[in-house]
Amino acid sequence: MRLLVQRVKSAHVDVQDKTIGKIDRGLLVFFGAKEGDVDNSAVWLADKVCNLRIFSDDEDKMNLSLLDVGGEILIVSQFTLYGNCEKGRRPSFVDAMKPEKSEKLYELFIQEVKKKCERVEVGQFGADMRVHLVNDGPVTLLIEKQ
């Protein structure tokens, strides 16, 4: 599994011109699964992202987690995180998990995050979405767990 995590001042996701998820200060998390990923990885990643110390403390050092700052989280599925661009001009998505299995891991990840974080918003799995964000920093991290 692969997460692209962005620290944001705000973010929202729209489907068919309707906002379905919206947060203020917190994390925008893009979620991708590949063939062979397992439930334990989703659990580990949920704990990692909620406790990752990437928010600034009073001395402007990254010492605080999403939980420490009472931040919000917006989770969006994105199979293109497993796009392979090494050959040719068109990305290959053969490593991305099939939607039926990926959606189960996406939902598990969301449920695990909800156990830790108070305010969790989500995109719509498999939908054509418009994601809007104000990146804070910018801070963008790629986290992966086999």
pLDDT band at 146 (very low <50, low <70, confident <90, very high): confident
Q: Are 58 and 13 in contact (CB under 8 A)?
A: no
Average pLDDT over residues 122-133: 97
At 116, list the tokens: 């830790």
Nearest residue to 125 via CA among 112, 140, 108: 108
* Phi and psi based region of residue 70 (left: phi greater than 0; alpha: psi -120 to 50; beta: remaining): left
Active-site residue identified among 16, 19, 80, 84? 80
What radius of gyration, in Å, describes the C-alpha atoms of the chain? 15
Q: Are 1 and 142 in contact (CB under 8 A)?
A: no
- Continuous H helices in the chain: 39-51, 66-69, 99-116
> Is the pLDDT reported for residue 12 higher than 90?
yes
CATH architecture, domain defined by 2-134 = 3-Layer(bba) Sandwich (3.50)
Average pLDDT over residues 13-19: 97
DSSP 96: B
Rounded to two decimals, the pTM is: 0.96
Average pLDDT over residues 47-63: 97
**Predicted local confidence at residue 99, as pLDDT:** 95
Dihedral pair phi/psi, residue 35, rounded to 5°: -55, 135
Residue 80 designated active-site: yes
